[in-house]
Amino acid sequence: MRQWGNSRALSHYLKEDYIIKAKVKFNQELQEVYKNRSDALKWLLVVSFGYTGFKNAPLSSPNIFEQINKWGRIALIQTKDIFEEQGFDVLHIYIDSIFVKREEPITDEIIDSLLIKVKKETGLPISLECIYKWVVFLPSKVNSRYVVPNSYFGVFQNGDIKARGIQCRRGDKPPFVKNSQIKIIEMLAEAKDLSCIRETFPQIFNFIMKQVEKIKQGQIPIEDLIITQRLSKNIEDYIMPSHVAKAGIQLKSAGVDIRAGSKIKFIYIKGNPRVLPWDLVPNSKGYQIDIEHYISLFKDAVKTVLIPFSIEEDFIENLIKLIPAKQLSFIPINERLRKFKISSSEDSNYYLY
């Protein structure tokens, strides 16, 4: 088959990426170097794919974009069928990834034979990224019967954590919230398996209370409260300004050149306009950090990673109420554990494996 333009230019990068990923497995000393190279090649490929479907790009091609999606879906369906024929349950499929599960032991020989068969059937190479100890797929807020395509978190068998689409991966959340959520997942990851998850709850609850106490007492560095967002359009094009737009308006009034695409840092404060650009903080006086809003952001991040483990939302609400953490510390941990209501799998809208 004759190759044209994009496919000819990108095939070299694709082949190079496969070679580098193979090297990662056999050279532990240079693992980080190879991973960074692989990530760079991945972004070249991802950006090139997105470029074909961007209508304002000079060389965009909607037909090519649609064909890439078409053949990608065909390859995923073929891969799904192959794994199901071998007794695997397909948990989730997303763009170029497939999550599978099998109750029987999985050997390297089984995995290798499946990868070879997928390559033969689809014409595309496939590799095993990892084996999870457990993984959580989060439901849609619009319809909880469906899983959000790219919103999950889990722990590999080697203890590494992977998260997509949750607060710790989002640029519009402050470091305080992101780092706290990562810490909670790390504590959950300390459990040997799912049956031992409850053993991590006491230290997680204590951590949550300490974080709330820190934010209330002003012990969180203000740099950890910064939100970073990009303007999606020019300031004058906003009809109902968002928080980032309000920060942009203040910067523009201060003589800063602001336009669509500008990255703006700001903090949440009490009173109008609710936000204060980070660049204006040094010369601003009399503002008060909106502690309640930051605790609300923190609370949402906690719920995201704890509710799937059958911890009720009401319990989390009570744990994070704006009362001194030291008052909660007088409640024995066993008393708090008795307040749990463990939901049955039939009642749960979360997909935990």
Average pLDDT (121-133) is 86
pLDDT at 334: 42
- Are 42 and 17 in contact, with CB atoms under 8 Å apart? yes
One-letter amino acid at 301 equals: A
Report the SS3 class of residue 205.
helix
pLDDT tens string 81-108: 999 998 999 998 888 889 999 888 888 8
SS3 168: helix
% of the chain beyond a pLDDT of 70 = 86
For the ranges 168-172, 234-238, 294-298, 344-348, the lowest mean pLDDT is seen at 344-348
pLDDT at position 348: 45
Residue 42 has pLDDT above 70, yes or no: yes
Find the range with the poorest average confidence among 117-121, 122-126, 287-291, 322-326.
Answer: 322-326
pLDDT-wise least confident of 53-62, 102-111, 242-251, 288-297 = 53-62
* One-letter identity of residue 3: Q
Lowest-confidence region among 61-70, 151-160, 279-288:
61-70
In order of 51, 169, 188, 307, the CA distances from 151 in angstroms are 24, 10, 18, 15
What is the pLDDT confidence band of residue 215, given thresholds at 50, 70 and 90?
very high
pTM: 0.81
Mean pLDDT of the chain: 83
275-277 and 263-268 strand pairing: antiparallel
In tens, the pLDDT along 256-280 reads 998 888 999 999 999 989 999 999 9
Q: What mean pLDDT is predicted for residues 59-75?
A: 85
Confidence of residue 5 (pLDDT cuts 50, 70, 90): low
pLDDT value at residue 245: 94
CA dihedral of 181, 183, 189, 191, whole degrees rounded to 10: -110
Q: Residue 8 has what pLDDT?
A: 67
Span of 11-15, 105-109, 132-136 with lowest mean pLDDT: 11-15
Cα torsion 56, 57, 58, 60: sign: negative
pLDDT of residue 346: 39
Percent of the chain with pLDDT over 90: 43
Between strands 132-139 and 351-352, the pairing is antiparallel
pLDDT at 325: 41
Whether the per-residue pLDDT at 235 is higher than 60: the answer is yes
Higher pLDDT, 48 or 115: 115
Q: What is the pLDDT, as a whole number, of residue 158?
A: 86
Helix (H), strand (E), coil (C) string for 296-331? HHHHHHHHHHHHHHCCCHHHHHHHCCCCCHHHHCCC
Which pLDDT score is estimated for 94?
A: 84
Tell which wins on pLDDT, 59 or 164.
164
Name the residue with higher pLDDT: 239 or 331.
239
